[in-house]
């Protein structure tokens, strides 16, 4: 259970647990003293009792409790480094279809000495975001922040005990560039520095809702992406496949613990420079760790492809140059975002290609946001249809600019997708008190109508006054608990659905069989709203809480 759910166990006294994957539950919870009518006959009425109620990760529409929606990250992101020129800032304010600014710094720039952070580049663009929102009443632009590791790590790291190694990485003109970067495993000081850096970012901006996404980094490589030496490039000392995978899992855990499990949206790239799955199965363990810790398509994590652009020499649009199959494996299990591979501005940039073709791919994979580099905004990359790609409405007139038949631009497409990502955990606390001291527990009654993917289990314990808590008892044995004036419960075993089938998302949403191929279009779903009611039949003091496992659903 995530950290922020564990701390709820300390203060909440009656817990209902269910493992839901893709179906949104509605829950009615109540208590009844002995001698009343059977609460299972009308679970909705249970929620209407006038108890003191506390909600955490839940909402109560019309007396029925549901999980609360999580943060929503969508749109077009203007990506630039730490130094935004006056031209960049002017362009950010002038292009109407931008939704966020993304500032990326090298770790060496950000932390020039241990625990001495330079916040000015982030703060400066946060001020510009606020300025834009203040000038446009309906706007809510946000900020994404990123610190890059690998060859961008601070020079003082080695003096602090971070372990490094030397290898090479390929360049576009087929020569191997030297790379001096942190060891990806057996490197506790690096993990410590990473955790401290993430924590500093969280603590500075945790109360600022306009800082929306905290981008993570991997240890090695020319950028912040996954890096594994290939070919004749030297491997890290003591290398084994198992060590490498374990080291990457440890880095992932730090990001999840410092951002996602604290209720902030994090991002990591699952592309970069690493072997094919047949040589090293890296992504599957990473995906399983994400799903195990956050659930499928958690609103608190986005996985990014940094290779969305024009694939050479075929000159076809791709979701991830060199890692198409890897991103296809991610689809449906995590939320996706695409970062441009390059820019059509020329010079040293890799060409990005036709934006309409690229947006068709983004929509096909239900991408939440896309990151574009500054050169394609200034000036706008009109020759490659950038405006139509991001703004064309489905029924746009054919005069100027020419409509693209059968195409809807990225932002209008997002507006047509009523997608909601729900939080993994919700707690509902409703309390009542015994009128005449400790009483024995009569029984727990549940009224539930849940899909086959769900399971509900209960455990309870009691205590009299401020004495010690009793041991835990399953719901069927609560009458064996000692008399008490308070009770507490927690979930029993919670079966989780787990599979690595690429077609899981599609087959669950549509009720079809496994589909090994990537999706070709968005698919609809039928909403089912299971109701779960519970009642404590006793005259003792009790509190009631609900814990629900996170899921994703298209409404």
Residue 460 structural domain: 3-69+423-554
CA Rg value for the chain:
26
Task: Evaluate if residue 400 carries a pLDDT over 70.
Answer: no
Q: Find the CATH number of the domain harbouring 91.
A: 3.20.20
Backbone angles phi, psi at 75, to 5 degrees: 120, -160
Nearest to 151 by CA among 166, 136, 131, 139: 166
Q: Which helix (H) or strand (E) holds 201?
A: helix 188-205
Separation of alpha carbons 183 and 187, rounded Å = 6
Instruction: Let me know whether 390 and 433 are in one domain.
Output: no
pLDDT number for residue 172: 64
- CA-closest candidate to residue 263, choices 116, 126, 70, 451: 70
Q: Are residues 376 and 278 in the same domain?
A: yes
Pairwise pLDDT comparison (494 vs 236), residue with the higher score: 236
Hey, which bits of 141-235 come out as E strands? 142-148, 164-170, 176-182, 211-215, 226-227
In this structure, of 58-62, 187-191, 542-546, the range with the lowest mean pLDDT score is 542-546
pLDDT at 421 (0 to 100): 86
Domain count across the chain: 2
Give the pLDDT confidence score for residue 68 in this predicted structure.
78
In a domain, 241, yes or no: yes
Predicted pLDDT of residue 214? 98
Residue 301: its pLDDT value, please? 97
SS3 content of the chain, % helix, strand, coil (to 5): 30, 25, 45
Which one is predicted more confidently, 118 or 506?
A: 118
Q: What is the mean pLDDT of residues 185-196?
A: 98
Cα–Cα distances (Å) from 461 to 23, 122, 442, 447, 475, in that order, read 30, 49, 13, 21, 10
Contact criterion met (CB below 8 Å) for 431 and 544? yes
- Assess whether 441 and 536 both reside in one domain: yes
Strands (E), 499-551: 531-537, 542-548
Residue 11 has pLDDT above 90, yes or no: no
pLDDT band at residue 258 under the 50/70/90 scheme: very high
What's residue 192's pLDDT? 98
Which of 58-72, 260-274, 367-381 has the weakest average pLDDT? Answer: 58-72
Say yes or no to pLDDT of 337 above 60: yes
CA–CA distance, 523 with 42 (Å, rounded to integer): 35
For residues 432 and 443, what is the distance between their CA atoms, to the nearest angstrom?
Answer: 16
Which of 46-50, 189-193, 407-411 bottoms out in mean pLDDT, i.e. has the lowest?
46-50
Question: Angle at CA 521, nearest 5°, toward 67 and 370?
Answer: 70
Q: Is residue 443 part of a domain?
A: yes
Give mean pLDDT, residues 119-147. 97
Q: Are residues 277 and 369 in the same domain?
A: yes
Q: Is residue 156 part of a domain?
A: no
Give the domain-ending residue among 400, 421, 442.
Answer: 421
In a domain, 489, yes or no: yes
Q: How many CB atoms lie within 10 A of CB 59?
A: 14
Q: Are residues 91 and 16 in the same domain?
A: no
Last residue of a domain, one of 355, 388, 421: 421
Q: What is the pLDDT of residue 53?
A: 66
293 in the same domain as 313? yes
**Cβ contacts of residue 179 below 8 Å, gap of 6+?**
150, 151, 166, 167, 168, 169, 220, 221, 222, 227
Highest mean pLDDT among 30-39, 279-288, 537-546: 279-288
Domain identity same for 65 and 88: no
Please report the pLDDT score of residue 472 as a whole number. Answer: 76
With a pLDDT cut of 70, the percent of the chain lying above it is 68
Please report, for residues 510, 511, 519, the alpha-carbon distance to residue 515 in angstroms, rounded to integers and kept in the order given.
11, 11, 9
**Which two tokens mark 256?**
């999840």
Question: Are 500 and 416 members of one domain?
Answer: no
pLDDT in tens, 377-399: 999 999 999 999 999 997 654 45
Q: Average pLDDT over the chain, rounded to whole?
A: 76
DSSP-assigned beta bridge partners for residue 432: 542
C-alpha distances in angstroms, 397 versus 354, 365, 392, 409? 21, 27, 10, 14
Arithmetic mean of pLDDT, 293-301:
91
Flag whether 244 is in a domain.
Answer: yes
pLDDT of 165 higher than 80? yes
Residue 498 and residue 428 share a domain? yes
The predicted pLDDT at position 486 comes to 64
Instruction: Please answer whether residues 143 and 210 qualify as being in contact, where contact means their C-beta atoms are separated by less than 8 angstroms.
Output: yes
Give me 373's structure tokens: 């580099």
Specify if 367 maps to a domain: yes
Integer Cα distance of 376 and 113 in angstroms: 35
Q: What is the pLDDT of residue 148?
A: 97
What's residue 555's pLDDT? 28
What does the alpha-carbon distance between residue 514 and residue 516 come to, in Å, rounded to a whole number?
6
Closest CA to 92 of 127, 144, 126, 129: 129
pLDDT, average across residues 179-194: 97
Question: Structure tokens of 252?
Answer: 């992932």
> Is pLDDT above 50 for 363?
yes
Query: Which of these three, 378, 402, 421, is where a domain ends?
Result: 421
**Residues 344 and 414 reside in one and the same domain:** yes
Q: 404 — alpha (psi -120 to 50), left (phi > 0) or beta?
A: beta
The verdict on 316 and 329 lying in the same domain is yes
* Residue 36, token pair as written in the block: 């009343």
> What is the average per-residue pLDDT within 19-23?
26
Is 50 exceeded by the pLDDT of residue 511? no
Q: 149 falls in which pLDDT band (50, 70, 90)?
A: very high
C-alpha 514/C-alpha 497 separation (Å) is 15
Measured between alpha carbons, how far is 365 from 359 in angstroms, rounded to an integer? Answer: 10
Per-residue pLDDT reduced to its tens digit, 65-106? 667 789 999 999 999 999 999 999 999 999 999 999 999 999
User: 86-94 and 120-135 are packed helices; what angle lies between their axes, rounded to 10 degrees?
Assistant: 30
pLDDT of residue 445 exceeding 80: no
The pLDDT confidence band at residue 440, using thresholds 50, 70 and 90, is confident
Structure tokens that stand for 354 in this block:
């036709």
Q: Are residues 132 and 53 in the same domain?
A: no
Res 180: pLDDT: 95
Task: Note whether residue 199 is domain-resident.
Answer: no
Identify the band that residue 422 occupies on the pLDDT scale cut at 50, 70 and 90. confident
pLDDT band of 483, cuts 50, 70, 90: confident
Residue 12 is assigned to a structural domain of this protein: yes
Dihedral sign computed on CA atoms, order 262, 288, 218, 146 = negative
């Amino acid at each position: 259970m995530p950290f922020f759910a564990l701390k709820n166990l300390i203060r909440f006294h009656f817990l209902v647990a269910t493992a839901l994957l893709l179906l949104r539950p509605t829950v009615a919870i109540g208590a009844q003293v002995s001698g009343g009518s059977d609460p299972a006959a009308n679970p909705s009425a249970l929620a209407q009792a006038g108890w003191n109620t506390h909600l955490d990760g839940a909402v109560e529409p019309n007396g029925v409790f549901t999980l609360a929606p999580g943060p929503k990250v969508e749109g077009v992101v203007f990506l630039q480094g730490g130094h935004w020129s006056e031209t960049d800032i002017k362009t950010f304010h002038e292009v109407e279809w931008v939704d966020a600014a993304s500032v990326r710094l090298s770790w060496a720039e950000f932390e020039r000495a241990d625990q001495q952070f330079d916040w000015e580049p982030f703060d400066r663009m946060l001020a510009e975001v606020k300025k834009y929102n203040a000038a446009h009443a309906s706007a809510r632009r946000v900020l994404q922040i990123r610190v890059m590791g690998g060859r961008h790590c601070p020079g003082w790291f080695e003096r602090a005990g971070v372990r490094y190694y030397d290898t090479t990485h390929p360049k576009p003109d087929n020569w191997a560039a030297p790379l001096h970067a942190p060891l990806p495993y057996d490197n506790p000081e690096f993990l410590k520095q990473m955790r401290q850096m993430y924590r500093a970012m969280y603590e500075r901006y945790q109360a600022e809702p306009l800082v929306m996404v905290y981008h993570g980094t991997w240890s090695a490589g020319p950028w912040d992406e996954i890096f594994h030496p290939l070919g004749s490039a030297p491997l890290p000392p003591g290398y084994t496949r198992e060590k490498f995978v374990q080291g990457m899992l440890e880095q992932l855990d730090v990001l999840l613990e410092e951002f996602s499990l604290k209720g902030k949206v994090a991002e990591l790239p699952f592309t970069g420079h690493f072997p094919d799955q047949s040589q090293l199965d890296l992504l599957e363990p990473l995906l399983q760790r994400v799903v195990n810790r956050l659930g499928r398509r958690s609103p608190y994590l986005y996985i990014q492809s940094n290779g969305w652009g024009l694939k050479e020499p075929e000159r076809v649009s791709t979701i991830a140059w060199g890692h198409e199959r890897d991103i296809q494996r991610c689809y449906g299990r995590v939320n996706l975002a695409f970062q441009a591979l390059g820019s059509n501005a020329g010079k040293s940039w890799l060409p990005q290609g036709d934006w309409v073709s690229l947006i068709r791919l983004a929509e096909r994979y239900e991408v939440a946001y896309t990151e574009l580099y500054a050169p394609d905004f200034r000036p706008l990359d009109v020759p490659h249809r950038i405006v139509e790609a991001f703004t064309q409405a489905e029924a746009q007139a054919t005069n100027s600019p020419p409509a693209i038949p059968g195409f809807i631009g990225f932002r209008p497409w997002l507006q047509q997708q009523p997608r909601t990502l729900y939080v993994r955990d919700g707690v509902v606390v409703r309390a009542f008190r015994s009128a005449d001291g400790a009483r024995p527990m009569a029984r727990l009654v549940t009224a539930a109508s849940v899909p086959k993917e769900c399971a509900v289990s209960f455990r309870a314990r009691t205590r009299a006054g401020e004495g010690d808590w009793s041991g835990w008892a399953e719901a069927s044995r609560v009458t064996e608990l000692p008399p008490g004036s308070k009770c507490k419960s927690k979930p029993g075993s919670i079966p989780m659905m787990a599979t690595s089938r690429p077609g899981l998302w599609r087959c669950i949403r549509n009720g079809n069989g496994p589909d090994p191929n990537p999706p070709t279009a968005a698919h609809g779903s039928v909403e089912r709203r299971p109701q779960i009611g519970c009642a404590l039949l006793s005259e003792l003091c009790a509190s009631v809480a609900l814990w629900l496992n996170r899921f994703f659903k298209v409404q």
